[in-house]
Amino acid sequence: MISYPALPIEELASELAEQQERYDAYKHLGLKLNMARGKPSPEQLDLSLPMLNAVPADGSQDMLHAGAADDLRNYGTPEGLPEMRAVLGAVMGVPAANVLAGGNSSLTWMHNLVSLAMTHGVLGSTPWAKLDEPPVFLCPVPGYDRHFAITEHFGITMVPVPLKEDGPDMDVVEQQVQSNAQVKGIWCVPRFSNPTGCVYSDEIVERFAALAPAAEDFRIYWDNAYVVHGLAADDASTKLRNIKEACEAAAHPNLWYQFTSTSKITFAGGGVAAFASSEENLASIKAAMGVQSIGPDKINQLRHVQFLPNLEAVNAHMTQQAALLEPKFAMVLRVLSEELGSAGIGAWTQPRGGYFITYTGAPNTARRIVGLAAKAGVVLTPAGAPFPYGNDPLDNVIRIAPSYPSVDELETATRIFAVCARIAELENRMEK
Ligand code: PLP
């Protein structure tokens, strides 16, 4: 196998012609493959089908069961079913009392909390929309495009912070948060980050908890979307320090907002989302959310708690999900290593959980790779998406989502990706 860095200039053109030939051959297959969004596969979704029968049609007893103050078929219990709060609390590592179990989307919680802060402030602070200057959010990069879409939507200035293997660069975070009262929040995906798959270390979580923000209304937006999404069972190396406990130990009990949902546990878009925080934060947020809705869909929550009554049941279910996902990650990593590792091209993360792999190539190659792949029938997440304003300053990061295609499709899609990466790399070197 040819190592590209060692390739003499005069051989670049013939190597490019060879890769172009491979590319054209793939193009003629007329494939339609998608590695763009982190969607569960049909097989993963099948695992949750029994949930639909978890509440029998003659189950009116279930509708009046112990935890519920009211008949679940009726209005009431705005903070969500107590059992649901307990299960999602256990998932996030917080007591049920600190959890609100809501509708189908954690992203909606995030959007609504930012919206609420814009119009009403946080625990009595000046509404962000009334500040002289726009508020600022720190955005660890590469990160989740839909987080950035929320803050962009509200005109919040986004400041990128490098995401390292053990979490965000805390020197930058501390400097920004502690010196600038405009900084109101930071987006975090602390376990199996989207898209690098990194897990924040205990030290990083403790530095978060110890932050002394210049702004009284600064909050850490701790999006634990992949908290139970390890690819290997009992993986001690990916344990996450509990943010609630860390903040309480640092005497900053109100600093954290935590989110999760069952979108990647049961049904994507048909699950249950939860928000957790301190009693004081929750009381104020609950009052505001009560204006928006009389209460959540408790019937779906009942289905969920019948199907997944406790953390053990969630973990057992996630072991089945992992068995479907792990071979897919393994295939992508194997092909990347075979095709690109030996040629000395690019670098990629090797996540131990979550939904994504991040590829980093030479500067000015990401857009080209995504464009080439699209023409050969492989849809990738748009280049730039993991950065605020879609702006990847080096144009070299691509998010790969292996969950949806079959293992065979992934092999083909990753080989096509690799050929595109080779072409982009060669073109880049020839331009120099
Ligand atoms: N947060 C992260 C980090 C995600 O990757 C996703 C989905 O991909 C979501 C939130 C969406 O969650 P929900 O379906 O609960 O809105």
Q: Give the pLDDT score at 5.
A: 87
| Tens digit of each residue's pLDDT (9 = 90 or more) over 290-336 | 999 999 999 999 999 999 999 999 999 999 999 999 999 999 999 99
Where are the strands (E) in 149-282, listed by range? 157-164, 167-168, 183-188, 219-223, 256-261, 273-277
Which tokens sit at 155?
């005109």
Q: Give the pLDDT score at 55.
A: 80
Atom number in ligand 1 closest to CA 104:
15
CA 107 – ligand 1 centroid, Å: 6
Q: Measured from the CB, is residue 261 less than 6 Å from ligand 1? A: yes
Which tokens sit at 226?
């992949």
Give 28's contacts (C-beta < 8 A, 6+ positions apart): none
Cα separations (Å) of 62 from 7, 70, 96?
69, 11, 20
Give 335's contacts (C-beta < 8 A, 6+ positions apart): 410, 411, 414, 415, 418
- Residue 156 carries which DSSP code? -
CA 225 – ligand 1 centroid, Å: 6
DSSP track, 338-368: IIIITTT--EE---SBSS-EEEE-STT-HHH
Neighbours of 7 (CB within 10 A): 16
Whether the Cβ atoms of residue 156 and residue 389 lie closer than 8 Å to each other: no
CA 204 – ligand 1 centroid, Å: 22
Protein residue with least CA distance to atom 6, ligand 1 = 225
Cα separations (Å) of 349 from 157, 208, 311, 354?
28, 24, 29, 12
Closest CA to 220 of 297, 161, 265: 161
Q: What pTM was estimated for this model as a whole?
A: 0.97
Closest CA to 1 of 254, 317, 340: 340
Using CA atoms of 317, 318, 321, 322 in order, give the dihedral in degrees to the nearest 10. Answer: -140
Which tokens sit at 315?
């973990």
Q: Give the pLDDT score at 65.
A: 60
Q: Measured from the CB, is residue 107 less than 6 Å from ligand 1? A: yes
Atom number in ligand 1 closest to CA 189:
3
Atom number in ligand 1 closest to CA 273:
15
* Region label for 167, one of left (φ > 0), alpha (ψ between -120 and 50) or beta (otherwise): left
In single-letter form, the type of residue at position 185 comes to G
DSSP track, 266-303: S-TTSS-EEEEE-HHHHHHHHHHHHHH-S---HHHHHH
Q: Give the pLDDT score at 342.
A: 87
Atom number in ligand 1 closest to CA 37:
8
Helix, strand or coil for residue 202?
Answer: helix
Q: Measured from the CB, is residue 396 less than 6 Å from ligand 1? A: no
Whether the Cβ atoms of residue 422 and residue 343 lie closer than 8 Å to each other: yes
Q: Give the pLDDT score at 144.
A: 98
Protein residue with least CA distance to atom 5, ligand 1 = 194
Protein residue with least CA distance to atom 1, ligand 1 = 225
CA 37 – ligand 1 centroid, Å: 11
Across the beta sheet with 167-168, the strand order is: 99-101, 273-277, 256-261, 219-223, 183-188, 136-141, 157-164, 167-168
CA 105 – ligand 1 centroid, Å: 8
Which tokens sit at 200?
């924040």
Protein residue with least CA distance to atom 7, ligand 1 = 38
Q: Measured from the CB, is residue 306 less than 6 Å from ligand 1? A: no
CA 103 – ligand 1 centroid, Å: 13
Instruction: Give the chain's end-to-end CA distance (angstroms, integer).
Output: 23
The residue to mutate among 35, 104, 106, 191, having the most atoms of ligand 1 within 8 angstroms of its beta carbon, is: 106
Atom number in ligand 1 closest to CA 106:
15
Q: Measured from the CB, is residue 38 less than 6 Å from ligand 1? A: yes
Q: Give the pLDDT score at 37.
A: 83
pLDDT < 50 regions, the chain: 66
Q: Measured from the CB, is residue 395 less than 6 Å from ligand 1? A: no
- Measured CA to CA, the distance from residue 263 to residue 223 in angstroms comes to 13
User: Hunting for tokens 């908290």 — which residue is that?
Assistant: 227
Atom number in ligand 1 closest to CA 268:
14
The residue to mutate among 37, 139, 194, 275, having the most atoms of ligand 1 within 8 angstroms of its beta carbon, is: 194
User: Hunting for tokens 């040629």 — which residue is that?
Assistant: 343
